[in-house]
Amino acid sequence: MDKLHLLRLRFPVVITYKHNLKWKGKHACSGLYEWDKHNRTHTITVEMGRSSVDTRNIIAHEYIHAWQCEQGLKLSHGLVFKWWAEFFNNNYGYSISRIQ
């Protein structure tokens, strides 16, 4: 998370950890991103029990979604997501996947 400040998020990020994490309550996943418009905060939830390296990469993945949110972009794994993932992967040693 040492270089994620390069995304220059305007709003705070809260990181939480949970067992049995599910996307849309159905699909097992390793990380989730949510925007709380009332408190103006980003929340990243990471599946508990992951290695520190996996956790770092999952948080970076979700940070890119937070950046997309702040830019008013669709939260996707398309070209913009891919650009940021490759930027962090190639320059700072992350291993950000387009899928989780």
The encoded tokens of residue 34 equal 């949510």
Mean pLDDT over 69-77 rounds to 97
Mean pLDDT score of the chain, rounded to an integer?
94
The encoded tokens of residue 6 equal 């390069």
Per domain, the residue ranges of the chain are 4-92
Percent of the chain with pLDDT over 70: 98
CATH number at 4-92:
3.30.2010
C-alpha–C-alpha distance, residues 29 and 77, integer Å? 15
The encoded tokens of residue 3 equal 């270089």
The continuous run of DSSP H or E covering 32 comes out as strand 31-36
Q: Residue 1 above 90 pLDDT?
A: no
Q: Helices H, strands E: what count in the chain? A: 2, 5
C-alpha–C-alpha distance, residues 69 and 73, integer Å? 6
Q: Residue 23 above 90 pLDDT?
A: no
pLDDT band with cut points at 50, 70 and 90 for residue 100: low
Q: Residue 82 above 90 pLDDT?
A: yes
Measured N-to-C along each axis, helices 79-92 and 52-70 cross at an angle, to the nearest 10 degrees, of 140
Q: What is the pLDDT of residues 24-61, one digit of tens each?
A: 888 899 999 999 999 999 999 999 999 999 999 999 99
